[in-house]
Amino acid sequence: MILRLLPFIKAPPHSLNAAEPKCPTTCLCSYDYNEDYSFFCSSRNPSRIPDLLPKNARDLWPYLQQVHLGHYKSLTCSWASNLRRLFLQHKDITPIDDNSFSDIQDLLELDLRFNKLSQLSARSFTGLKNLSDLLLAKNLLQTLSSETFSPFQKLQWLDLSDNQLTIRVFKDLQFLEELNLSYNKLRTLVERVFEGLGQLEFLSLNNNNIQEIRPGAFTGLFSMAVMNLSGNCFRTLYDHSFRGLEKLHSLHVRLFLQRNTVIDDNSFSDIQDLLELDLRFNKLSQLSARSFTGLKNLSDLLLAKNLLQTLSSETFSPFQKLQWLDLSDNQLTILWLLRNHWDCSCSLKDLRDFCLKNATIVPRVVQSVSEGYDTSPPSYIYNNVTCATPSQVVGKDLRDLNDERFAQCP
């Protein structure tokens, strides 16, 4: 089999006064429409990138014409001191020798996705102090040395998705803004596992095998805005599971909980600025009066595709700004809607129609009957859907608004 490596190298734009870059004998060279001087080079059965590449190269894509590159065993980069971006996807790279990148200290982006890396040493990335983006997805990584990321002083984006990781060490990545750990084999988030990532804003932990979040796991994530925990196997969400995430505004949690498992009281009480909570496609069978304590700013709550049969009349009481509630595809037999600030405009037309057609699910009043030796008189719970806006219907029950009120609604 003939293996052909086609490095595409982009050099800085030329000027009329600049000397013409020397074109290697094995390459075809020309200026493109951006006045960048491009080099298209090839060699047979390469075990390393040729030394004849120009010193002024900035970007390198080694394009592979055949699917296997068994001779490409390690990386030798002494020729590439001026590179800014290096793309090495799909190269069957297995080891990275220590100090492989030590001569390209100005590198900003390194893409090593879709290789066969199973380990990284403490010196795999020595010298890459200016790197901002490191892409390691689709490899075979299982563990990481505590010193693996210590050379990085400016790293902002780290993609470790689709590996086999069970251990995480990120303490040296103080400028990291995005971390992707999806599709690994994480089982437990231990205390302070993300400590040191004070600038992190986006964290993807979806599709692992996470069963437990220990208190304090998110300590130090002062800037966290969006987190995805979907596709895990939590046994439960404990009290204060999300302590330390004061700035979180979007949380996607598809828990795959076991039947009859519940969300503990105060699970979300430490993320009071949360705007969106996605709990669809789980096995939630009940929610207590304090399941959502603290979520006073929540605007979107998605609970579709669960096993909910009843809801406490106090379940939604913490919400002061809720605008979108999705309870579709559950098993509800009664729905409590009292003590909310309802905007009885066109957006509630479907809810009005549902309430009128399903009076047993959304009753206007429920009588509590005494049992046993209790001789106290029966009590009544009124399930009012009281309009807070618009001004013309303030104080009225949604179900009492006539059809003309919604005649112009789409």
DSSP state of 391: G
Count Cβ atoms within 10 A of the Cβ of residue 205 and give its class: 0-12 exposed, 13-18 middle, 19 or more buried: buried
* Residue 256 structure tokens: 């795959």
Number of Cβ within 10 Å of residue 350's Cβ equals: 11
In this predicted model, what pLDDT tens digit does every residue of 47-89 receive, in sequence order? 445 554 555 555 555 543 322 333 334 445 555 567 788 888 8
Q: Model pTM?
A: 0.71
Nearest partner of 134 among 116, 94, 161, 171, judged by Cα: 161
> What's the CA gap between 30 and 23, in Å, rounded?
9
pLDDT truncated to tens, each residue of the chain (410 aa)?
Answer: 222 334 455 555 554 455 556 666 656 666 655 555 555 554 434 444 555 455 555 555 554 332 233 333 444 555 556 778 888 888 788 888 888 888 888 899 999 999 999 999 999 999 999 999 999 999 999 988 878 999 999 999 999 999 999 866 788 899 999 999 999 999 999 889 998 899 999 999 999 989 888 888 999 999 999 999 988 887 777 888 898 898 898 888 765 544 445 688 888 888 888 888 888 888 888 888 888 999 999 988 999 999 998 887 688 888 888 888 888 899 988 888 887 788 899 989 988 998 999 888 889 998 876 666 667 787 888 899 999 999 999 999 999 999 999 999 98
320 phi and psi angles, rounded to 5 deg: -110, -15
